[in-house]
Structure 1
Amino acid sequence: MNHLINIDNGGTLTDICVWDGQGFSFTKTLTTPFDLSQCLFDGIEKASATLYGEKDLVRLLHQTQHIRYSTTQGTNALVERKGPPIGIVVEDPTIVDDLRVGAEAEALFDDLIGTRVAVVDLTMSAEDLAFDVVQKVNQLTTDGAARIVVVGESRESEQILRNMLLRKFPRHLLGSVPLLYSWELVGDRRRDRRTWSSILNSFLHPVMERFLYQTQHRLREHKVTNPLLVYRNDGASSRVSKSVALKTYSSGPRGGLEGTQALANSYGLTHVLMMDVGGTTTDVGSVTGGAIATDERGAIGNVPISFPMSNVVSVGVGGSSIIGVTDGRLTVGPRSVGAAPGPACFGLGGTEATITDVNLLLGVLDPGTYLDGQLHLDADRARAAITETVADPLGISVEEALLRMETAYFETMASAITALVREDTTLAAFGGAGPMSACGAARLAGVKRVLIPRLAAVFSAFGISFSDVGKSYAVGVPGATAESAAATYDDLIVRAERDMFQEGYQLSDCTVEWVLAEETPTGDTVATRPYRRGDPVDAGAVQLSLRLDVVAALPHPALIGDSAVEPVDAVSDGVRPVRSAADRVDEVSVYRLADQAPGARAVGPAIVEGPFFTARVLSGWRFDVTSNGDLILTDTH
């Protein structure tokens, strides 16, 4: 069992990258939103054909140590607000004001919760409180709440409410509207972070739950005993039953950041911006000085959460984002056609226009080679969609509409990265649609160099190859004393031993790291230091938290450092007519990346066809093929 399968599931396409200890095999397949386990198994079966010369799903499954799975389903669900209505039961009504600080938080609160807020008074008698709680929970469900979050001012407050609700609602009824208690999810003293974490986790949980357990069931049908691992947004992986739904949010981009970090170190780059363009979202993060930018307490947009998280911004624009006309102007996203029905040119019933349709009609995409020829694109359907939804509403020709739509798309992309650009910035562009848009967005954002990995089309799945099995804990220490810190240490040891045993590892075989944090009364970190059991504690510390990270190492690939190569002329595979103006079509040289020697060079306009991706090199840009087979694009203007 020497294979590791890495899967990055997107809204439109699902990427599969298999590492056998020596090299990578990879493929892509259309996401099947009606049953996400279907595209997972379809992709693994396609990968087996690449490995063995014929499809043999069972053989590959039984030769695999782990399947590590990442998904943008949670990210997309939150961007598009596709999830269960949430209700909250709170002890202190002022928490609502705390949760609505900032325009983004206010909008998210209105969309996920709205008026479904119940306030309970724990000073009431037990009998009156029980009656009041039941009435208010019933009212929340009547108002449409499909999930309920209970937020007490202390663990003890929540325990009182929990005991009452368990007595009053039989488990089989309570289970139909799940309740989540905030202190059980995370022991964060800062209540806005703890509450938002609970709300978002409740919103994302059903998106993940049905699919992951269904996938595990199908694996058992194939007599696969190794557990499916969920890849998390902190860069580690864990079993489905040991994973928190919120930690799947932006997990795919974390894989992209891990891959970006590996490339930054390989090429000696000081500042790399990641632009991961999927079907529904574009994810932006950074690697500075070889380190991934990570927040100790993360945020989703401007909404604070309690868990560490890589600093990634997800923008609602991707290869399947709808480009339309609103009040006489072009808009790009955040709505997406996804994989079903997909862009109009997929021929699966889509009638909305996307950048994929635009690039097909501009000539950037070859209808016969898309997804390495696995999906033929329909230009007539693309033209009909753009005519009806953009050209006619604006009163312009289709040709003019294509150019305006492309410009609007570049501008939307550039707006996601401009504020992060430095003089030494390199833009790493990947995902299925990233290489097509990189030059246009980079020039508007002031970036002079773009790196397109050879594995750009499956790069986030490739990045998951650097993941280990891991668990993280952060627990408040009750009382700022050495004795209480040691007692908390002992409790965490017991939890970690149990959890890692369930993952299939002994704690003694894992790497552990302990950190003691001094915190303000509201839970904000003041200082941190490494901790060993029995260490003295600063008597002046107001509050303490103890954090534990446990890692069971898995095999990782090693990237070879880039080496200097002599420039040679790139070998063209022909030309392709590409529209550059409403009344002008240019013959643009096409290059196949697999045919180019290290050092191959050419100037734009040009098109480079890679495995499962098309890179567009605009006029004024030059491309160079590195010793590792990646593309470096340089703006020579």
Structure 2
Amino acid sequence: MSTLINIDNGGTLTDICVWDGAGFTFTKTLTTPHDLSECLFAGIEKVSASLYGEADTERLLHATQHIRYSTTQGTNALVERRGPMIGILTTLPELEIALRKTEAEQVLFDDLVGDRILTLDPDAPAEEVEFEVVQQVNRLTTLGAARVVVAGSSPEEEQRLRTVLLRKFPRHLLGSIPLIYSWDLAGDREDARRVWSCILNSFLHPTMERFLYGAERRLKEYRVSNPLLVYRNDGASSRVAKSVALKTYSSGPRGGLEGTAALARAYGLSRVVMMDIGGTTTDVGVVEGERVDVQERGAIKGVPISYPMSNVHSRGVGGSSVIAVEDGRITVGPQSVGAAPGPACFGFGGKQATITDVNLLLGVLDADTYLDGTFRLDAARSRAVITESVAEPLGISLEEALVRMEQAYFEAVSAAFADQVDDDTTLAAFGGAGPMSATGAARPAGVRKVLIPRSAAVFSALGISFSDVGKTYEVGISEPTTASATATYRDLLARAGRDMFQEGYALADCTADWELIVEDVDGSQLLRAPYVEGSPADHPGHFASLRLTVTAPLSQPDLVPDEPVAPAAAPVAGTREVRSAADRVDTVPVHVLDQLSPGHTGEGPAIVEGPFFTARVLPGWSFRVTAAGDLVLDDLS
């Protein structure tokens, strides 16, 4: 079994990409927010029909080594504040102040924790501490806490509290409450980062657990023995039972970044800005020197966490973002209509305008070929919604409204990445709505070259192909001595061996990368260096930890490099009437990417229909088809 299935579950559409060792097969399906496993299996069935000529879900699943799954559920749960109330039991007297330093932290703390933080005196007599622990936990649950973070000043202090809590609140009783111990989740000695990591993880955990275990149960109905793997925001995958909920946050954009890094290597690009436009957001990240830009200590919603994270910024601008009128001006997002009800033209009852509706009425989209003809759009519904919500409030014609809405959308998308652009930047545009807006957003940001991969519509799912099964650990060294570091090393090695065995791999068949990390008391990093057993780790007055990354390699594709190809005029498959101004409609040539060959070229205005996407080439831009079948667009102005 060498087949790998990659799935990127978005707010509006779910992407499925299959790598069989020789090539990619991919498709898209509407996300079903009421039951995410429904769109997952609908997508697998749909892609099996592309592979075999007829739908055969069981055949595909039994030929598959792993299913790697990325989902926005954690991201959406945090945006919508859809999760349990969190309580904190701590021995750190100034912890609440440390957790509320910035406005972003204050907002998130109030929403997730509120007044559910109680402090213990660790120096009190043991019997008093034991009595107080019970009283405080009972009080937290009375205040509504469904999960409790236990935060001590050291692992040893938390272990003493754990002993009391296990005795007083045994796990087998109905009255037990899920507890998470901060030093178990992260070996980070900076208290605020470590506790914030626990708060966020506790909040995301139930949502992720319900869905992912539900998906696993459905897989077992097909007698699938290989586990479902969760793709993480550190670029690796692990089985559901061995995954940390916090590491699923923003995992889809990490897939896009890994794919962008592969493009940078294939095309020899020094700096690439990723622009991934989905239904709800535009995700932006940078690949510099063919490497993904990663923050050593990441942040979520402006809140610091203990884990590394790819440096991705999301803006509420997508194909399903609401375009409305506020105070006499056109606004774009951040509210989204999602997959249900979706854009008005979907015909599911949507009553708010989106760029999808705009592009349908402008003539950029064809009602009969959307999603490769699997879904028909309703122009009459778009016309009614835009007239009512934009044209009439502004006192302008429908035609003028369409042009101004498109320009507002271009400007909103451009603003999402303009601060990342320099003279040597290439914009990699993908996602279902990325190619449609690439040239319109690139020029205001100063970008003169755009790369649209042939697999743009599912590129984040394809990017997951450039990942392996892996685990990352970071544990603090209890004393600044070589002996203590060696003991930590051996404990981590044993832990990794158990975990990788449960993933289905022997540790001897994996690669292991060790790092020694030394930080100051304020959490700033002083040293990050390779580590081997027995190396000195003497850094008195500072915090030292060991980080171990264990990787079991999976087969990965090789992208075709950008080699010179003799140019030829791209054949035209048809034309489309596209409105370019309130009083002007142009006859624009339409090219079908699957009918073009490497070397085919053309100039805007033009439309290139790719698999599940529409690329718009505005006037003043040229395009060429590369040796890999991708599109490169250059600004001729």
Q: TM-score when scaled to structure 1? A: 0.96
CA separation of 1:342 and 1:491: change in aligned 2, threshold 3 A? same
Counterpart-to-counterpart distance in 2, 1:378 and 1:31? 19
> In the TM superposition, what are the counterparts of 1:21-100 in structure 2 within 5 Å?
21-100=21-100
CA contact (8 A) 1:432 1:456 kept: yes
Partner SS for 1:548: strand
Deviation at 1:173, TM superposition (A): 6.0
Partner of 1:101: 101
- CA RMSD, Structure 1 to Structure 2 (Å): 1.9
CA separation of 1:169 and 1:460: change in aligned 2, threshold 3 A? same
> In the TM superposition, what are the counterparts of 1:200-279 in structure 2 within 5 Å?
200-279=200-279
Counterpart-to-counterpart distance in 1, 2:347 and 2:141? 41
Deviation at 1:541, TM superposition (A): 6.7
- Summarize deviations over 1:143-162 as a string: whole Å, max 9, x none: 44333322222223333443
Moved more, 120-129 or 499-508: 120-129
Counterpart-to-counterpart distance in 1, 2:105 and 2:329? 27
CA separation of 1:271 and 1:141: change in aligned 2, threshold 3 A? same
Q: Which runs of 5+ in 1 are unaligned?
A: none
CA contact (8 A) 2:170 2:176 kept: no
Partner of 1:118: 118
Q: Which runs of 5+ in 2 are unaligned?
A: none
Partner of 1:19: 19
Deviation at 1:22, TM superposition (A): 0.5
- Summarize deviations over 1:369-409 as a string: whole Å, max 9, x none: 11111111111222222233333333333322222222222
Deviation at 1:125, TM superposition (A): 4.7
1:121 partner amino acid: D
Moved more, 132-141 or 475-484: 132-141
CA separation of 1:350 and 1:83: change in aligned 2, threshold 3 A? farther
CA contact (8 A) 1:79 1:316 kept: no
CA separation of 1:518 and 1:595: change in aligned 2, threshold 3 A? same
Partner of 1:302: 302
Deviation at 1:601, TM superposition (A): 1.4
Moved more, 139-148 or 620-629: 139-148
CA contact (8 A) 1:76 1:280 kept: no
Moved more, 567-576 or 607-616: 567-576
CA contact (8 A) 2:271 2:289 kept: yes
Moved more, 217-226 or 316-325: 316-325
CA contact (8 A) 1:197 1:305 kept: yes
Partner of 1:189: 189
1:240 partner amino acid: V
CA separation of 1:405 and 1:88: change in aligned 2, threshold 3 A? farther
CA contact (8 A) 2:189 2:543 kept: no
1:286 partner amino acid: V
Partner of 1:602: 602
CA contact (8 A) 2:475 2:545 kept: yes
Partner SS for 2:492: helix
CA separation of 1:332 and 1:513: change in aligned 2, threshold 3 A? same
Partner SS for 1:633: strand
Partner SS for 1:529: strand
Counterpart-to-counterpart distance in 1, 2:615 and 2:115? 47
Deviation at 1:222, TM superposition (A): 0.9
Q: TM-score when scaled to structure 2? A: 0.96
CA contact (8 A) 2:466 2:557 kept: yes
Counterpart-to-counterpart distance in 1, 2:484 and 2:627? 55
CA separation of 1:477 and 1:36: change in aligned 2, threshold 3 A? same
1:360 partner amino acid: L
2:286 partner amino acid: S
CA contact (8 A) 1:79 1:334 kept: no
CA contact (8 A) 2:239 2:503 kept: yes
Moved more, 444-453 or 339-348: 339-348
CA contact (8 A) 2:518 2:542 kept: yes
Moved more, 262-271 or 562-571: 562-571
Percent of residue pairs identical: 67
Partner of 2:508: 508
Counterpart-to-counterpart distance in 1, 2:605 and 2:553? 45
Partner SS for 2:555: coil
Counterpart-to-counterpart distance in 1, 2:100 and 2:118? 16
Aligned residues: 637
2:503 partner amino acid: E
Deviation at 1:221, TM superposition (A): 1.4
Partner of 1:420: 420
CA contact (8 A) 2:169 2:175 kept: no
2:474 partner amino acid: A
Deviation at 1:69, TM superposition (A): 0.7
Counterpart-to-counterpart distance in 2, 1:364 and 1:141? 55
CA separation of 1:586 and 1:85: change in aligned 2, threshold 3 A? farther
CA contact (8 A) 1:189 1:522 kept: no
Moved more, 43-52 or 525-534: 525-534
Moved more, 462-471 or 318-327: 318-327
